[in-house]
A = this chain, B = another copy of it.
């Protein structure tokens, strides 16, 4: 395995085409904080599986187009080459590429909109990382989130697009929540909580993504499971909507928070785990709050709650003295768009 990896890396250094493929593959892996082309390949396979399983092959097509357009736009804008090679300019456009065909109806103009959106995602990646680096933070997946919110809200004003989010814009508080109750049929939902990171509703895809994490970082795989299970159980306890719960929709933001706070940006340990569990609860509350905030606008929260919660958890970081090897955090978030992986 290591021999193959080494020869791939060597080939990637010499051959520009292989390098481009390598960079594109690292993009999907960077969504879940992994810098590994094989993980990225597995995740692309997971997206393909989910797209075909749900009868929406165009979602996989969108992922590939978004990834290519975003990565090429970054080249045209002459971004920092080292960050580019790590796939840090691929993970946001690939998500935009998945979101546009998921939430808009299928017609030729949608593809132009997707290409414009993927290019805009790269511009916003540069813009927002410039904003957040003032506090030693990165923009995470927020360039994708903001671009997709813009695209969907704009689509409501255009006759040539139809928004398919299945969200009815309405005021909060109708008392129409159907509470779920625990039974073992909920097990696939924990895996769907992982696949929903990529807007995919499929436990098989969730399993594939966990494998993609496992081959690069066991801590990341473990905390992904902890995040999904923790948030879904808490949502169940507080009486959240049963249908969304089953689809894993209360898990995916906590999955990302748990990987970021518990496994990647801090050295895993008891105190960090306690802080991460608190972070999972915070992410759920922020997600539910953003659901109330965005429902009148008819747009989904996407991974916005993960971004907000994780920024809030990282901002006090210098006060979080008990974290051993604090300097890894500095490494991880100090420069504009680099994460220590």
Residues of A within 8 A of B (CB): 77-80, 109, 116, 119-120, 123-124, 126-128, 130-131, 134-135, 149-161, 163, 169-173, 177-179, 237-241, 278, 281-282, 284-293, 296-298, 311-313, 315-316, 318-322
Minimum CB–CB distance from A243 to chain B (whole Å) comes to: 13
> Is A157's CB under 8 angstroms from B240's CB?
yes
- Copies of this protein in the assembly total 3
B-chain residues with CB within 8 Å of residue A80 when the two chains form the complex: 319
- A319 to B178 CA separation, bound complex (whole angstroms): 50
Query: 9 more A-B contacts (CB under 8 A) besides A79-B319, A153-B291?
Result: A78-B320, A123-B313, A126-B319, A134-B134, A154-B286, A157-B241, A160-B179, A160-B239, A292-B298
B-chain residues with CB within 8 Å of residue A153 when the two chains form the complex: 172, 288-293
Minimum CB–CB distance from A142 to chain B (whole Å) comes to: 12
B-chain residues with CB within 8 Å of residue A291 when the two chains form the complex: 153, 157
- A298 to B172 CA separation, bound complex (whole angstroms): 7
Question: Closest residue to A238 on the B side, CB-wise?
Answer: B158
Q: Are A127 and B239 also in contact (CB < 8 A) when A169-B172, A292-B154 are?
A: no
Greatest chain B CB density within 10 A among A172, A284, A313 is at A172
B-chain residues with CB within 8 Å of residue A293 when the two chains form the complex: 153, 297
> Is A278's CB under 8 angstroms from B135's CB?
no
> Is A158's CB under 8 angstroms from B288's CB?
yes
B-chain residues with CB within 8 Å of residue A135 when the two chains form the complex: 130-131, 134
Greatest chain B CB density within 10 A among A109, A286, A312 is at A312
> Is A154's CB under 8 angstroms from B285's CB?
yes
> Is B158's CB under 8 angstroms from A239's CB?
yes
Minimum CB–CB distance from A250 to chain B (whole Å) comes to: 10
From B77, B134, B238, B311, contact of A160 by CB (8 A): B238
The 25 listed contacts between A and B (C-beta, < 8 Å) are A77-B316, A77-B320, A78-B319, A79-B319, A109-B238, A123-B282, A123-B312, A123-B313, A127-B312, A130-B135, A130-B316, A149-B289, A150-B286, A153-B172, A153-B293, A154-B284, A154-B287, A157-B177, A157-B241, A158-B239, A159-B178, A161-B238, A169-B173, A171-B296, A293-B297
Q: Are A116 and B320 also in contact (CB < 8 A) when A130-B135, A169-B173, A297-B296 are?
A: no
> Is A292's CB under 8 angstroms from B297's CB?
yes
Question: Closest residue to A318 on the B side, CB-wise?
Answer: B130
Greatest chain B CB density within 10 A among A154, A237, A296 is at A154
> Is B157's CB under 8 angstroms from A126's CB?
no
